[in-house]
Homo-oligomer: A and B are copies of this chain.
Amino acid sequence: MAVATQSLEELCINSIRFLAVDAVEKAKSGHPGLPMGAAPMAFVLWDKFMRYNPKNPKWFNRDRFVLSAGHGSMLQYALLYLTGFDSVSIEDIKQFRQWESKTPGHPENFMTPGVEVTTGPLGQGIANGVGLAIAEAHLAAKFNKPDAKIVDHYTYVILGDGCNMEGISGEACSFAGHLGLGKLIALYDDNHISIDGSTDVAFTEDVSKRFEAYGWHVLHVKEGNTDLDAIAKAIEEAKSVTDKPTMIKVTTIIGYGSPNKQNTAGVHGAALGGDEIALTRNNLKWEHEPFVVPQDALNHTRKAVERGAGYEEEWNKAFDSYKAKYAQEAAEFERYISGKLPDGWDKVLPTYTPADKGLPTRKHSEMCLNKLAQVLPELIGGSADLTHSNLTEIKGFGDFQKGQYENRNIHFGVREHGMGAICNGMALHNSGLIPYGATFLIFTDYMRAAIRLSALSLAGSIWVMTHDSIGQGEDGPTHQPIETLASLRAIPNLTVIRPADGNECSGAYKVAIEKSKQNDPSLLAFTRQNVPNLAGTSIEGVAKGGYTVVDSEGTPDIILIGTGSELSLCVTAAEKLTSEGKKVRVVSMPSTTIFDAQDEAYKESILPKAVTKRVSVEAGTSFGWHKYVGLEGGFVSIDRFGASAPGGVCMDKFGFNVDNVLATAKKVLG
């Protein structure tokens, strides 16, 4: 199978290379270097190993492919085109990186069927791959029978030097090694070049040894540009090791074939230019016009269509007999895949009255999670080593560990960023799983890139964040969120909810579960400390984002807007103000995200324009609250870092008490 001039393999591989070269040249933007160097490994993988159906990119049992080095997106678009996916035509490739094209700058799963996850921010893809492999392992353990393996696919990842430099990849790969995810196979495009030039300037560690330290099976293809047999042999060997993930270091030359630019940073992220392209065509004996793929190559690569139809048909038959034998499991499997929730699932969510004992909202979260876990077997997740602080254990469902993949409590370790991308990968397995990941709210800062990608790439992860204010207490300002809620509310398409009590916690989970099934993430913020159950709060109210919990007769003089642990301060302050003859409305605003999405009439009914005297009360920054309070209102907020002291002391010292709410309200009332 070694490349000889004009061999069919060479034709196919050069087709990939020149589609990348030509598309980047036309766009005058993009990254030709990686596709040129990684084309051989990608071709071997997609041609000899990967099982997928180009005409049904969502076929459940397909092998998952992730281009973690997402800047090399033309590699993936070339593969999709060559193997016959409808999503990428040659015209689409000509529209590389143009407005609304199917071939954006980096692979985007929401733009291009056949792309599994959104990559580009380095290291995310390999961590998503760990999540995909976890999903596969879990579903296989749950649904497979000794005589019927209906869940049985590999996850393949191509990653580069950049991915391997990022901490997130280290976190995720250490965890994958711990879990022994044997069906995760990563091909490391070891081309020794990053944007700043040779990796010698910054990255001289022994990557293979590091992966061995993680417990991976590690292989090396020394001649990744031409030695297709060695690539195939390595993938075979990787598949044969079933109790460890495999990393295949494939040494390549970036921009392979470009006489003057290969093996330089110059070919990483810029068009080759006409002259160099001519030289490259000559060098690789490529006589075809731009965007022309020789028919022999296309005839070969398009065999994937028939092959893929066969795979799916075979699987469909297997599933039919599974269904015949295991009707109940098959029905559940089909429900998973459909993304539907079981009827009446939300009936398990508890409701409360003010007579019920006050608890920390993290405790309410724990109760919701445990109730939901009973009726939603697809709920699976855990904490980044704060299980008993976040209260995220779902009791009775065991720890997800090597060989115990049917279990549903995942111990992510102190790896917030890895956890984020792993949850996203599980969500983007698109098999109905509802993944959740937990840490302290402040440590969303460690995983923000993954949270953002959940919102961008339509991954229905649920982020469970506790210790949501200075009420956290003694751990001090390093652990106390101030600006954190604001910074998260600013992310498009992320639903942030900070419930005030038991009812609102149930409401928060109702929204989050429904959103997850619509492929949208939610972030829930819970207190460490006790809060009372209030009159007027409701599951339905949370679904509106903001709603009135205490009202006056007639137009209010003032509106107090509270969230989370501060809502009760508003309620008490309102009582006092009312007793003094003021007309006061209290609005609970668990989610500005949801409130903003309501129609104008609803918003006007809660925050009438005529009532300009408003006060927001939240143990966090005032940043962002002017939108609801206006320029004439007041803020009970903290616009500096917190301090180490018992939580109650912090709250009081920083003015989160009824007296200060009253004082602020009176100042606004004038």
Contact = CB atoms under 8 A, between A and B. Distances in A.
Interface of A: 27, 29-30, 70-71, 97-101, 104-106, 108, 118-122, 161-163, 165-171, 174-175, 177-178, 194-196, 199, 201-210, 212-215, 265, 383, 385-389, 399, 401, 411-418, 442-443, 445-446, 448-449, 452-453, 455-456, 473-479, 482-483, 486-487, 489-493, 609, 621, 623-624, 626-627, 630-631, 639-641, 643-646, 649-650, 653
Nearest to A401: B201
Nearest to A452: B445
Contacts of A100: 643, 645
Given A387-B196, A476-B106, A627-B626, A209 B213 contact: yes
B483 A456 contact: no
A519 B106 CA distance: 38
A475 B195 contact: no
Given A411-B202, A453-B478, A167 B165 contact: no
B490 A477 contact: no
B210 A122 contact: no
For the complex of A and B, the 7 pairs showing the least CB-CB separation, nearest first, are A167-B167, A104-B644, A202-B413, A483-B490, A120-B478, A487-B487, A209-B213
A479 B205 CA distance: 28
Contacts of A108: 476-478, 644
Contacts of A169: 167
B194 A385 contact: yes
Contacts of A97: 474, 476, 644-646
A210 B214 contact: yes
A175 B167 CA distance: 12
A653 B476 contact: no
Contacts of A165: 171, 174, 385, 413-415
Contacts of A389: 195
Given A97-B644, A213-B205, A631-B630, A385 B621 contact: no
Contact of A486 (B162, B199, B387, B487): B487
Given A27-B474, A170-B170, A196-B411, A492 B482 contact: yes
A416 to B, nearest CB: 8
